[in-house]
């Protein structure tokens, strides 16, 4: 288990604001669950991680943890209560499980009405139902941005490369597209090249949308093999940001470059940037821009 570090006096004084209970982390895939666990522990607060089998990294075993399978409702909540967790954070990517991979324990059976509610509607509806269900079990839901504020992207351009005039027009078209999608609870992203909407994100997620865009690279590239096109990724209107904040990271950069796109536009304070410095360095290396838009820039 990772040892706690000795912090400067001023940081130790800030720890008085921490709840005494451990931070519960329900971990999906990716590096963010581990990063948040590390940062939380270094700040002086204990953590307890619930790892979803087949999804979360084995590295969660460096911390107090419990593995659960989809459907093991009693096992999950009993573990959290035994660890005296009061606040729970959801972080990391997950996919809707196939029915054959769901394990029915008594908690699952007792809450079948809730379980069946997760098979209907879009992501916003499902996530709202999850938040309500967990809160009724006596836990407070917190967001990654509340626990580790530096994870969220700031405003301005992060990279050496900046958007061109053509990119700016693509960004504006992308903003309108994503906002329209979000109002119908469809997706968080769109890809626009030369003011032509190449792809919109639906149930497949951003990564698979970018893979689709690769097959449309003849629209994304112009003369002399020059890159064109922008990924615009924004939260939906009224999105439940505590458990579903849009995220970009190194893999996003790789897929954007592979798709022949020029850059990424996100919005300040409402998008997580996983492995921030690595993401920025890779974007610089591959010639991709990343820009954090101000809230007022979304009113196009």
pLDDT value at 8 more than 60: no
Structure confidence by residue, pLDDT tens digits, 252-272:
999 999 999 999 999 999 999
If one compares 15 and 240, the residue with the highest pLDDT of the two is: 240
- Higher pLDDT, residue 15 or 217: 217
pLDDT, tens only, 39-94: 999 999 999 999 988 888 999 999 999 998 877 888 889 999 999 999 999 988 76
More confident residue, 201 or 134: 201
| 193 strand-pairing partners | 196
Q: 3-state secondary structure string, the chain?
A: CCCCCCCCHHHHHHHHHCCCCCEEEEECECCHHHHHHHHHHHCCCCEEEEEECCCCCHHHHHCCEEEECCCCHHHHHHHHHHCCCCEEEEECECCCCCHHHCCCCHHHHHCHHHHHHCCCCCHHHHHHHHHHHHHHCCCEEECHHHHCHHHECCCEECCCCCCCHHHHHHHHHHHHHHHHHHHCCCCCEEEEECCEEEEECCCCHHHHHHHHHHCCHHHHECHHHCECCEEEECCCCCCCCCCCCCEECHHHHHHHHHCCCCEEEEECCCCEECCHHHHHHHHHHHCCEEEEECHHHHCC
CATH 3.40.140.80 fits 152-298, yes or no: yes
> What average pLDDT does the segment 211-225 reach?
65
Q: What is the pLDDT of residue 7?
A: 39
**pLDDT reported for residue 193:** 92
Least confident of 85-99, 110-124, 242-256, 274-288: 110-124
Domain-by-domain residue ranges, the chain?
A: 9-149, 152-298
62 C-beta neighbours (distance < 10 Å), count: 15
CATH assignment of 9-149, given 3.40.50.740, 3.10.129.10, 3.30.300.20, 3.40.50.20? Answer: 3.40.50.20
Given this chain, do its domains 9-149 and 152-298 carry the same CATH topology?
A: no
Return phi, psi of residue 284, to 5°: -65, -40
């Amino acid at each position: 288990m990772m040892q706690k570090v000795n912090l400067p006096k001023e940081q130790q004084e800030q720890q008085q604001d921490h709840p005494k209970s451990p931070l519960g982390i329900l971990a999906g895939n990716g590096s963010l669950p581990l990063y948040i666990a590390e940062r939380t522990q270094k700040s002086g607060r204990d953590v307890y991680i619930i790892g979803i089998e087949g999804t979360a990294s084995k590295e969660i075993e460096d911390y107090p943890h419990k593995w659960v399978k989809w459907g093991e409702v009693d096992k999950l909540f009993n573990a959290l209560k035994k660890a005296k967790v009061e606040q729970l954070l959801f972080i990391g990517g997950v996919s809707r499980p196939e029915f054959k991979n769901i394990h029915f324990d008594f908690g699952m059976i007792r809450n079948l009405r809730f379980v069946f509610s997760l098979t209907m509607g879009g992501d916003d509806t499902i996530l709202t139902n999850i938040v309500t269900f967990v809160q009724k079990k006596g836990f407070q839901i917190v967001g990654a941005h509340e626990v580790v504020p530096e994870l969220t992207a700031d405003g301005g351009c992060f990279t050496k490369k900046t958007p061109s005039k053509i990119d700016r027009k693509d960004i504006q078209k992308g903003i309108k597209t994503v906002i329209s999608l979000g109002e119908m609870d469809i997706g968080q992203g769109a890809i626009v090249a030369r003011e032509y909407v190449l792809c919109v994100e639906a149930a497949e997620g951003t990564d698979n949308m970018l893979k689709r865009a690769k097959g449309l690279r003849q629209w994304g590239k112009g003369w002399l093999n020059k890159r064109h096109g922008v990924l615009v990724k924004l939260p939906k209107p009224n999105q439940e940001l505590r458990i579903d904040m849009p995220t970009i990271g190194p893999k996003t950069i790789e897929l954007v470059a592979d798709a022949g796109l020029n850059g990424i536009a996100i919005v300040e304070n409402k998008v997580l940037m996983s492995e921030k410095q690595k993401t920025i360095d890779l974007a610089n290396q591959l010639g991709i821009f990343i820009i954090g838009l101000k809230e007022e820039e979304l009113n196009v």
